[in-house]
Amino acid sequence: MTVKTSSLNTLAVESMLFARRHFVRWRNEPLLPIQSVVYPTLLLVIYHILVSESLMRLAGTDNLNGLVPLCALAGGMFGALGAGFSIPGERRCGLLSRLWTFPVHRASALIGRLLAEGARTVVSTALITVLGVAMGLRFHGSWLLVLPYLLVPVVMVMTFAMVVTTLALAVGPDGSAMYTYLGSASIGLVFSSSGVAPMEMFPSWLRPVIQFQPMSPPIELMRALSEGGSVVWPLLGTLGWVAVFAVVFGPLAVRNYRIAAETGV
């Protein structure tokens, strides 16, 4: 039991050290964390200015409680995509192979990357939420619900970062085409979710697709947390998508990282 606890503690410390490596890199090259805040902020402000009055007339709501979660998730996802661009370069220069030779737990580098993504996402989500509150977003339930509200994008973005990492390691040193396809798919998910407009405004035949695509359950969960509504079904949908991606891409991420580090190409 003591040995197992010590091993877990060591893994946690090593993962935090690898996460710190990303923090230092982002501090020296702040373009990515700035973009992950600026892009969703502009999206929130511009979309709200252009669409809120029309939505208010048509649906009786400005949909701000769906738009803020949408922008928080979008910012985290595109930040994870931007961070994924560094993986082919690290592979080409042999950094992955050097990290693999360190006397640390094999999973610590991957976990550290995901922790860094989670930390960046919680900061950007907090900033976007503050802006949303300034624009009129209100939490009708307990303010204690703000904490899980901020953590929903963290869980989703860490899961998405695992997908990005898996695919980036799978395509080899030159993965520009993969990022194009994945970026296009991400944009499609963002703008075909329930955060764009209330669900009842979509055609009836399209609603099941919108309702059950990966972006909508976490958006609806954050909406329920801000409105003080029931969180059961959105929570189950969110956890379901997280579980699916974790089961499919978790083992693949470890496998692809090992292959990339051992082959060095």
Q: Which letter does DSSP use for residue 85 in this model?
A: T
Between the alpha carbon of residue 71 and those of residues 22, 38, 44, 114, 132, the distances in Å are: 23, 10, 6, 20, 10
pLDDT tens column, 87-128? 887 888 888 888 888 878 878 888 999 999 999 999 999 999
| Residue range of the domain that includes 147 | 9-263
**In this predicted structure, which of 27-41, 71-85, 229-243 has the lowest mean pLDDT?**
27-41
> Taking 70 as the threshold, does the pLDDT of residue 4 lie above it?
no
Nearest 5°: phi and psi at 187?
-60, -40
Distance from C-alpha of 207 to C-alpha of 193, rounded to nearest angstrom: 10
Determine the length of the chain.
265
Name, in order, each residue with C-beta under 8 angstroms of 148's C-beta and a sequence gap of 6 or more. Answer: 225
Percent of the chain with pLDDT over 70: 94
Within-domain flag for 53: yes
pLDDT tens column, 178-204? 778 888 888 899 888 988 888 888 888
Within-domain flag for 3: no
pTM above 0.75, yes or no: yes
Nearest residue to 117 (alpha-carbon basis) of 88, 142, 154: 154
- What's CA 14's distance to the chain center, in Å? 22
Nearest residue to 171 (alpha-carbon basis) of 69, 265, 241: 265
At 265, the pLDDT band (50, 70, 90 cuts) reads low
Distance from C-alpha of 5 to C-alpha of 155, rounded to nearest angstrom: 25
Within-domain flag for 105: yes
DSSP letters, 196-235, are TS-GGGS-TTTHHHHHHSTTHHHHHHHHHHHHT---HHHH
| SS3 state at 152 | helix
Within-domain flag for 1: no
Q: What share of the chain is helix, strand, coil (3-state, %, to 5)?
A: 80, 0, 20
Name, in order, each residue with C-beta under 8 angstroms of 13's C-beta and a sequence gap of 6 or more. Answer: none
Distance from C-alpha of 92 to C-alpha of 155, rounded to nearest angstrom: 30
Distance from C-alpha of 243 to C-alpha of 227, rounded to nearest angstrom: 26
Which amino acid makes up residue 37?
V
> Taking 80 as the threshold, does the pLDDT of residue 145 lie above it?
yes
Q: Quick count: other Cβ atoms within 10 Å of Cβ 39? A: 17
Q: Quick count: other Cβ atoms within 10 Å of Cβ 64? A: 21
Higher pLDDT, 260 or 4: 260
Within-domain flag for 77: yes
The confidence score (pLDDT) of residue 176 equals: 66
> Taking 80 as the threshold, does the pLDDT of residue 8 lie above it?
no
Indicate the average pLDDT of the chain. Answer: 87
Within-domain flag for 170: yes
Distance from C-alpha of 94 to C-alpha of 108, rounded to nearest angstrom: 18
- Please say whether the beta carbons of 156 and 238 come within 8 A: yes
Count the domains in the chain. Answer: 1
Within-domain flag for 2: no
